Each structure stands twice: as structure tokens, then as C-alpha cells.
Amino acid sequence: MARIPTTHDPFNAVAEPKRRQLLEALGATERTVTSLVALLGWPQPMVSKHLAVLKKVGLVSERRAGRQRLYRAHLDKLKPIFDWVVPLERYWTESFERLDEVLERIQKQEK
């Protein structure tokens, strides 16, 4: 077997930083491929190919309008990532630090 395909789930799809950028560039607005090319400064096939990956995972959808295609982000598809990582935050949050570390910092501040 090999590595899990990028189109398998949101985790793998957004592991590529360019695809995160793409989602950010889309934000809440529908955009044309050309507009994304202009915005990001990438070669057009690169934009199309990354969009294709995002589309397979459902992170974007496409609507045709004449010769253009309008892409829209569906960020709710990131929920699995959200749901996985958020509960783990408590492990690095101050409220769960070891008591002695907290006390040590308080002492420093008192000096």
C-alpha cells in the first residue's frame, strides 16, 4: 500500500499548504479560476489541479457560468478536523499545566 490519497478526506486534502491558501482565498466568496490565479499568482493549471482535489473532498463546489467556473468553499467540511483537534487543546492549555510550573512563574513575577 501507499500513502492515503489526498482526495480521501479533509485531513489529507489540507495537509498541502497551497490548498489551505486556496480555501482562505475563497473565504466566503465565489471566485473564478482566473481571479484565483490573479490573486495567488500561481500558474493556472496549478490552481485547477488543487481545486480538483478540494472538490473531490467536498471542500469546494463548482458552478458553471458561460466559459467560467465559479468555485465556492464549503468550510463545514473541515468539521472532522475541528472535532478532532479541539478536544485536545486542553492538553496544552494553562489550566492543565502542572501546578509547580504555575507556581514557579508566579514567584518570578513577584520578584
- Apex CA 76: angle with CA 58 and CA 46, to 5°? 45
Return d(Cα 26, Cα 50) in angstroms, integer: 13
Selected range binding DNA among 28-36, 72-80, 82-90, 100-108, rule: CB under 7 A: 28-36
Judged by CB, which is closer to a second copy: 28, or 106?
A: 28
Q: Which does 69 bind (CB under 5 to 8 A by kind): DNA, a second copy, none?
A: DNA
* Residue 58 touching DNA (CB under 7 A): no
Per-residue interface string for the shown chain with DNA, residues 5-24, x marking contact by CB under 7 A:
xxx--------x-x------
- CA distances, 58 to each of 21, 36, 78, 86, 105 (Å): 16, 18, 10, 22, 46
Give 71: exposed, middle or buried? Use CB within 10 Å, 0-12, 13-18, 19+.
buried
Tell me the window of 5-13, 37-45, 63-71, 101-109 that interacts with a second copy (CB under 8 A).
5-13
Interface residue with DNA among 22, 26, 53, 59 (CB under 7 A) is 53
The answer to whether 15 contacts a second copy (rule: CB under 8 A) is yes
Q: For residues 30 and 70, is the Cβ–Cβ distance under 8 A?
A: yes
* Phi–psi pair at 14, nearest 5 degrees: -95, 5
Among 91, 100, 109, 110, binds a second copy (CB under 8 A): 91
